[in-house]
């Protein structure tokens, strides 16, 4: 039995035992199951041999340019003798290698060539043992450790930990590149015309042979069956009461009212992540790079009536989250307004919000456009693709002289302005 089949049966067994589960629980199992989850499986998931590309895979110029923003955060922190860069979910490890730089000629702009070099500590927060091993090897090669896979053999201040513990109150710059979109989300639906109110879409089992009593047909045409066939089982949505009052409270907090039948996501884990940052950091910045929108666009029924849940497998996108649990990436667009609002409540100021095009150009990525990095630069800033699809949000805590967040380089200068 393949890992996919094993995970599928494990999910079906939990539903059989406990009843329909929230989509948040389903997504958590698909991505993070310790044995069979997508992010914990061995083998490549990013790059040509994987399922999708991220900006760091396009070229080293992305990390080198991002390093310039990190260095400014260090300067605004008062140029402390110890400064941490914290990367969540470091993927293949190439962004860490490119941001830090070092032996092997990674290139100008990396932190190893800056005044920060002797004071830098780099922390990777990663839950997957397979990914940690992959990251250690990639960083070891880039930083001149001869490809050794053990973290201790890497000749650079790069460490791994499950949380912010090593930072221990020091100033830091947090990098979250395509992190928040992978947090498990609840899926909700606007109440019907009979006044049923907000519903949550739960995940139940569907027999592909068509036996068992019909529960309902959802908008995608999948018939939801309550019976389980151990040999031919897939999954589908079934509406029910919200699993927690926090779902309705979240929408009220943002001033959102879903129209009848409209489907949307609620990412409570994103708020918990930001609250964890606030507890672990006393001074610094968090730079979130991801695809998403502000609240008015994200919940606009004219454009996103069916929500934003997407899957990626073999470089093909699909809206079907049930096709291959554990063998495809699952994502939902980020609500940047929610991060800004909760950050403000916690005392974090918004130091900038723009698309990736504006952010990288303001940091000087076009300096590399005339050399061998030209192709990578085009991919990273191309309007209509990575340049506009990805947004960048900077939240700052304890920086600035007047209580107002500083204006970071990535958000003003050559291309000032904001993006939605």
177-193 pLDDT, tens digit each? 999 999 999 999 998 65
Q: What pLDDT digit, counting tens, does each position of 253-268 carry?
A: 999 999 999 999 999 9
Q: What is the pTM of this model?
A: 0.89
Judge whether 16 lies within some domain.
Answer: yes
Judge whether 418 lies within some domain.
Answer: no
| Count of structural domains, the chain | 2
For residues 203 and 321, give the distance between their C-alpha atoms in angstroms, rounded to a whole number: 10
- Backbone dihedral region of 389: left (phi > 0), alpha (psi from -120 to 50 degrees) or beta? alpha
Residue 40's pLDDT is 82
- Lowest pLDDT segment from 235-249, 324-338, 405-419: 405-419
CATH code, 303: 3.40.50.12710
* Residue 76 structural domain: 55-183+267-311+328-411
Q: Is the pLDDT of residue 225 over 50?
A: no
For residues 197 and 385, give the distance between their C-alpha atoms in angstroms, rounded to a whole number: 37
Residue 419's pLDDT is 61
What CA–CA distances, in Å, run from 309 to 52, 56, 129, 263, 312? Answer: 16, 23, 26, 10, 10
| 79 band by pLDDT with thresholds 50, 70 and 90 | very high
Residue 196's pLDDT is 64
Same domain assignment for residues 261 and 271: no
Query: Which has more pLDDT, 144 or 154?
Result: 144
Percent of the chain residues past pLDDT 70, beyond the cut: 81
Q: Is the pLDDT of residue 227 over 50?
A: no
- Find which of 5-19, 135-149, 362-376 is predicted with most confidence, using mean pLDDT: 5-19
Judge whether 419 lies within some domain.
Answer: no
Judge whether 112 lies within some domain.
Answer: yes
Q: Is the pLDDT of residue 215 over 60?
A: no
Record the tokens describing residue 253, joined without a space.
């907090």
Same domain assignment for residues 78 and 100: yes
Same domain assignment for residues 176 and 234: no
Task: Name the domain boundary from 265, 280, 296.
Answer: 265
Other beta carbons less than 10 A from residue 269's beta carbon: 17
Same domain assignment for residues 233 and 137: no
Residue 148's pLDDT is 35
Residue 68's pLDDT is 94
CA angle 159, 109, 285 (to 5 degrees): 55
Other beta carbons less than 10 A from residue 81's beta carbon: 8
Same domain assignment for residues 393 and 349: yes
Q: CA nearest 130: which of 89, 158, 78?
A: 89
Same domain assignment for residues 85 and 219: no
Q: What pLDDT digit, counting tens, does each position of 325-349 carry?
A: 988 889 999 999 999 999 999 999 9
Same domain assignment for residues 63 and 176: yes
Query: Which has more pLDDT, 137 or 28?
Result: 28
Residue 369's pLDDT is 74
Question: Mean pLDDT, the chain, as a whole number?
Answer: 84
Q: Average pLDDT for residues 106-134, to the nearest whole number?
A: 80
Record the tokens describing residue 21, joined without a space.
């589960």
Residue 47's pLDDT is 56
Judge whether 128 lies within some domain.
Answer: yes
- Lowest pLDDT segment from 4-8, 271-275, 320-324, 349-353: 4-8
Task: Name the domain boundary from 265, 286, 319.
Answer: 265
Say if CB 391 and CB 355 are below 8 A apart.
Answer: yes
For residues 311 and 315, give the distance between their C-alpha atoms in angstroms, rounded to a whole number: 10
Q: Which residues pair with 321 in a beta bridge?
A: none
Residue 130's pLDDT is 78
Q: What are the contacts of 111-116 at 24+ separation with CB within 8 A? A: 111/67, 111/70, 111/71, 111/85, 112/156, 114/67, 114/71, 115/71, 115/79, 116/70, 116/71, 116/74, 116/83
Percent of the chain residues past pLDDT 90, beyond the cut: 54
Q: What pLDDT digit, counting tens, does each position of 18-73 carry?
A: 999 999 999 999 999 998 888 887 665 665 555 556 777 788 899 999 999 999 99
Same domain assignment for residues 281 and 369: yes
Residue 134's pLDDT is 82
Same domain assignment for residues 273 and 386: yes
Judge whether 80 lies within some domain.
Answer: yes
Residue 230's pLDDT is 45
Residue 420's pLDDT is 62
Same domain assignment for residues 82 and 129: yes
What percent of the residues of the chain are helix, what percent strand, and what percent coil, each to the nearest 5? 35, 25, 40
Judge whether 199 lies within some domain.
Answer: yes
Judge whether 316 lies within some domain.
Answer: no
Same domain assignment for residues 178 and 192: no
Same domain assignment for residues 368 and 288: yes
Q: How far is C-alpha 246 from the chain's CA centre?
A: 22
Record the tokens describing residue 203, joined without a space.
């995940």
């Amino acid at each position: 039995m393949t890992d996919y089949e094993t995970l599928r049966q494990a999910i079906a067994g939990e539903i059989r035992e406990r009843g329909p589960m929230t989509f948040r629980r389903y997504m958590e199992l698909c991505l993070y199951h310790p044995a069979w989850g997508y992010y914990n499986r061995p083998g490549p998931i990013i790059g040509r041999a994987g399922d999708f590309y991220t900006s760091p895979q396009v070229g080293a110029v992305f990390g080198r340019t991002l390093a310039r923003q990190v260095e400014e955060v260090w300067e605004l922190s008062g140029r402390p003798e110890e400064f941490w860069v914290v990367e969540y979910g470091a993927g293949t490890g190439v962004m860490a290698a490119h941001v830090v730089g070092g032996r092997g000629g990674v290139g100008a702009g990396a932190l190893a060539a800056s005044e920060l070099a002797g004071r830098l500590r780099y922390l990777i927060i990663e839950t997957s043992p397979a990914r940690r091993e992959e990251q250690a090897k990639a960083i070891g090669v880039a930083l001149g450790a001869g490809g050794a896979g053990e973290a201790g053999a890497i000749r650079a201040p790069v460490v791994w930990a499950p949380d912010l513990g090593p930072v221990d109150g020091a100033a830091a710059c947090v990098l979250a590149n395509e992190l928040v979109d992978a947090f498990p989300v609840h899926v909700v639906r606007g109440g019907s015309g009979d006044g049923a109110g907000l519903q949550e879409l739960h995940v139940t089992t569907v027999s592909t042979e068509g036996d068992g009593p019909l529960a309902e047909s959802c908008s995608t045409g999948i018939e939801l069956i309550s019976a389980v066939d151990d040999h031919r089982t897939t999954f589908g949505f079934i509406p029910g009461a919200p699993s927690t009052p926090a779902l309705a409270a979240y929408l009220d907090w943002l001033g959102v009212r879903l129209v009848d039948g409209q489907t949307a996501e609620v990412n409570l884990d994103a708020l918990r992540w930001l609250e964890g940052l606030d507890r672990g950091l006393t001074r610094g910045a968090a730079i979130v790079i991801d695809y998403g929108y502000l609240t008015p666009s994200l919940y606009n029924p004219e454009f996103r009536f069916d929500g934003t849940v997407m899957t990626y497998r073999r470089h093909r996108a699909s809206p079907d989250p049930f096709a291959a649990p554990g063998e495809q990436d699952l994502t939902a667009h980020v609500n940047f307004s929610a991060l800004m609002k909760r950050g403000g409540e916690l005392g974090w100021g918004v130091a900038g919000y723009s698309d990736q095009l504006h952010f990288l150009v303001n940091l000087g990525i076009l300096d590399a456009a005339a050399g061998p990095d030209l192709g990578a630069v085009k991919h990273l800033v191309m309007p209509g693709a990575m340049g506009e699809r990805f947004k960048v949000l900077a939240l700052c805590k304890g920086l600035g002289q007047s209580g107002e967040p500083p204006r970071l380089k990535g958000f003003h200068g050559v291309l000032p302005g904001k993006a939605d």
